[in-house]
Amino acid sequence: MRVHRLPKLLQRLLPHTEWRGPVPEGKKPLYLTFDDGPIPEETPFVLEQLAAYNAHATFFCVGQNLERHADVARQVLGAGHRLANHTHHHVSGWQLPVPAYLAEVQQCQQVLEAFGEVPRPLLRPPYGRITRAQAAALHSHYRLIMWDVLTYDYDASYPAEICFQEALTYTRPGSIVVFHDSQKARRNLRAVLPRYLDACAAQGYSFEVL
C-alpha cells in the first residue's frame, strides 16, 4: 500500500517537523521538492520543466552528488531555486546513532555552504526516517521538512498514469510535494512532472521555494 500523505496522528509523533508550507490568504501555493540529486542525467530536465511554468522549487541534495556535480548545482541556484540538505550519503536515521547521523548532516551542510546556503538551512531525512532524538538535536539549527504529497515517482512498478492522478488528487494549497531528480525515478518523473505542472498551473496554483 502506498501512503501518499501520512495521517496527522503519525505526523505528531515527530515533533519539530514541517509537513505543509504556509498558505497566505487568497493564494494557492505549492512547494515542489526534488530529492536525491543533483545529477546531470535528470536535474537539467527538471529545470527545463520548471522554467516553462515560471515555477520555483527546493532541491534536497545528497552531499556526494553536490561534490560530483557542482556545475549542475550551480544551474539549480542560477534558475532561482534553493539547495537543501539530504545528508551526505543518503542514510536512514533509523540505522544510525545520533552522533553519526549529525555528522552525516553536517558533512552535507559543509558542502552546501560552499554554494552560499542561507542561515537556518533545510533538512529532509532520506526515506523520511529520523528518530525523535535526532530531530530534537537538529531542530534548533535546521528546519526539518517532510511532505504533504509523496508521488512515489521512484517506484518502477507504479504506472505513470496512476502516479500522476494520485499526486493530483492529494494536492492542496500548501502541499509540500516530493519528486526525485534521480535515475531511479526517470520513467515516472519524465512522464508525470510536465503533466502535473500543467494541471496545477491550470488550477491556479503557484510554485514556491520553501
| Residues carrying an active site annotation | 35, 180
Q: Three-class SS of residue 57?
A: strand
Dihedral sign, Cα of residue 126, residue 83, residue 105, residue 23? negative
d(CA 191, CA 140): 38
Distance CA 134, CA 110 (A): 19
DSSP state of 207: E
- Compute how many other C-beta atoms are within 10 angstroms of the C-beta atom of residue 54: 10
Instruction: Tell me the sheet residues that pair with 206.
Output: 29
Q: How many helices (H) and strands (E) does the chain have?
A: 8, 9
What would the grid cell of residue 63 be? 552531499
**CB atoms near residue 24 (< 10 Å):** 10
